[in-house]
Chains A and B, each alone.
Chain A
Amino acid sequence: MKMLFKTLYGNGIFDAFREMDWLENQINRAVGSRFARPSYPELNVYEGENSVQVKALLPGIDHEKLEITAEGDRLTISGELRAEENARYHRRERRYGNFSRVVKLPFNSNGKGAEAIYSKGVLTITVNKPAEEKPKQIPINLN
């Protein structure tokens, strides 16, 4: 529902939702609520003319244990974050253990033309749109 508003109304409503996201985020973090935790990893999705870019916030991940699969219109990101052993935790907010998240793409990726880069704790996956999805110029015929 929120996404629908963002694409329909553009910048005005978008800023309001960003404020709400911020407030929700701050409260969740401050309260440390187990029930209101955001999905992991958090994602930002960008759309380009020929491809879609998914940025997943995955700080401190062993990228060799990361698994990224593109199947049909679904992109799956899974992996694990290990906790420090032999340490006494006084406060634990960071997420640990296995994780898996599925992103639904607005097209069928056909599993080809995708690349992933992990830098500064951000995993950037670029999936190329299949040829049929690319915007086509429609010639105007004058009569």
Chain B
Amino acid sequence: MSVLEKTEKKEEIYFLPEVDILEREDAFLLVANIPGADDKSTEVTVEKNVLTIKADTAREEADGYSLYYSENNADGYRREFRLSESFNADGILASVKNGVLTVTLPKAEKALPRKIEVKS
């Protein structure tokens, strides 16, 4: 994962979003803060076990306003994660609500806890 990756295209600057990774019984959840972006401006892709998050925020100033002070003026968020083999790439879901992206990664069959019957 490239931590200090910077994409500069027409002076566009992207930040790494803050991310939580949670584990549930049947899936992992990746929750990322992407305030200012919505489902239309967000893209989640998986290629060769690399999960890429791309979310664009409109860095616009409202009519009649000019920027006076800024602590976060990114054009969007970018981050990549390497997934292990224990994920079912087909079942990955993503949704955005209130500036939070939730990616659900269901565990592959073989990674689910299986109860092994003990025979006598």
Which residues of chain A have a CB within 8 Å of any CB of chain B?
A: 3, 6-7, 15, 18, 21-22, 25-27, 29-30, 38-39, 42-49, 52-53, 57-61, 84, 87-95, 118, 120-122
Contact = CB atoms under 8 A, between A and B. Distances in A.
Given A30-B4, A59-B35, A87-B24, A95 B98 contact: no
Interface in B39-79: 57, 61-62, 64-74
A44 B71 contact: yes
10 contacts: A7-B68, A15-B11, A44-B67, A58-B99, A59-B33, A60-B97, A60-B99, A60-B100, A90-B23, A92-B20
Contact of B37 (A18, A25, A48, A120): A120
Interface residues of B, number: 41
A26 B15 contact: yes
B3 interface: yes
Contacts of B6: 22, 26
A85 B9 CA distance: 41
Contact of A93 (B18, B57, B65): B18
